[in-house]
A and B are shown apart, each in its own frame.
Chain A
Amino acid sequence: MSPQSSANRGSPMRTLTLCAALFIAGAMNAVAHDTGEHHDEGAQRSGAGDPSITEPYVQEMWRNAEATWKVRLKQDETQASCSRFRNAPPDDVAEKILAREASTVVLPKDGQVLGKWQDGEKVAQSGRGGQFSDNADTVNGGNCYACHQMAKSELSFGTLGPSLSEYGKLRNFSAEAARDTFAKIYNPQATVACSNMPRFGAHAFLTEQQIKDVVAYLFDPDSPVNK
């Protein structure tokens, strides 16, 4: 389970307001479906959130978005489940997520998971790409430093994820660990259901080469991460 799971699931406010929500959604001329119509996992469990109440609002909030952007409004099954369970899915739901996400992981055909650590450092530093303020030709970055400590020389690092300092060194630079790490970056939810880390490979946000380069940044003995 993700370390950032939890949240006030059982708060009295929720019980009170959900009934109200179903009642009122009609008032904005949109349909709030009853829980029986959900497709995603665990729809009828008590205690879980009810994301369907948001969908009419989501449509209204982005009613003027361009068609090419509107595709981003649609959640995939995993996003819907993690929203519903606020990143703390019950075991059976978590198992389905893990199986589904594991099936998306594509390891490099040549079996080589290590690229160039110098290029990996750029991927780890860059938070660009995919934003409505970006140019179309912006190269996406992994923004690993937003969430992880990596090279100890880089003091500007976030704490949403665990420290990755000396990551390869602590794993004896093992080829198997490097392969697992490629898979982790490709799709973190293949091993941690509802992880807060983005599914960089599964969303094709990073290329295979970029992921290889980042793995090298973590696993090359010469990389500042291992100094």
Chain B
Amino acid sequence: MTHRVRVFSLAATLVLLVFGAAGLHAGDTEDEIQRYREMINDPMANPAFLNVDRGEALWKLARGEKNVSLETCDLGKGPGILDGAYAELPRYFADSDSVMDLEQRLLWCMTTIQALDTKEIVARKFSTPGTTSDMEDLVAYIANKSSGMTFHIPLDDVQEQNAYAVGEELFYRRGSLLDFSCATCHSADSARIRTTQLPNLTKPGKDATETMGSWPTYRVSQSQMRTMQNRLWDCYRQMRMPPPEYGSAGLTALMIYLAKQADGGTLNVPSIKR
């Protein structure tokens, strides 16, 4: 628990910086955004490191019917190996015979290794001002173990290739009351919604690597650390779709499609953003 002291005053500074920027013209806003992107690199300035600390404790906590910790959970690189694991997810797991992202995999390990009832944990999948989320905390801790590393998504398993194909189709799937698909908002270079820059996620390159390399992230506008599951849930909200099921195969398919576009990009997580 090393980071706590300095986090809070700097969080306040960030709130001012970010919301102060909201009313400015697009060009100025980008300068501000650049400034706080630089602050991300200072772990002392990022409240998500509280999640990292809590996540570490949860990883080592014995619980569930079997009263054991998650430390033997295999995230793809062997039981208990965390370094670099997040940079290779989602991936195929032979034991579950399916492609899983980190959050699905953690639920799987909780169920199979700890015999933990995950209902209550899933109910807290997204933190609120009054409740923490074990999932967000664990993701912060585990993703941080890949910070500085590069995405490696070789798609060398046929199920991974399948998930990618499904993810790509889902990305272009239009529907609901406003006819949106992900591509509506994320298939043009340097397009904006209002003053918000939208990443083009249909191809490899800077947009994809900067986007995927920055999740999980502390979202200043929500005062919470958020994972990719939450980001996609939020985008489906904008698409006027019902809330997608946490940890569903469709979300994992989208994630492997997005992660593949970011292949070779560097992770810098947990980051901090708007």
Contacts and interface: CB of A to CB of B under 8 A. Distances in A.
A24 B158 contact: yes
Interface string B203-223: 100000000000000000000
A83 B181 contact: yes
B161 A60 contact: no
A80 to B, nearest CB: 8
Contacts of B155: 13, 17
A14 B162 CA distance: 10
A145 interface: yes
Given A62-B242, A83-B173, A158-B192, A4 B183 contact: yes
Q: For chain B, give the interface size range.
A: 35 or more
A21 B251 contact: no
Interface residues of A, number: 61
Interface string A2-43: 011011100001101110110111011000000000000000
13 contacts: A4-B183, A7-B183, A8-B202, A14-B165, A20-B159, A21-B165, A60-B250, A61-B244, A69-B242, A70-B242, A83-B172, A155-B25, A156-B194
Interface in B157-210: 158-159, 161-162, 164-166, 168-170, 172-181, 183-185, 187-188, 190-196, 198, 202-203
Contacts of B191: 4, 158-160
Given A7-B187, A23-B158, A28-B249, A131 B238 contact: yes
Contact of A16 (B161, B166, B237): B161
B237 A131 contact: yes
B174 A83 contact: yes
B129 to A, nearest CB: 16
B215 to A, nearest CB: 19
Contact of A8 (B158, B177, B203): B203
Given A57-B253, A159-B192, 4 more contacts: A65-B242, A73-B241, A79-B175, A205-B177
A53 B194 contact: no
B251 A61 contact: yes
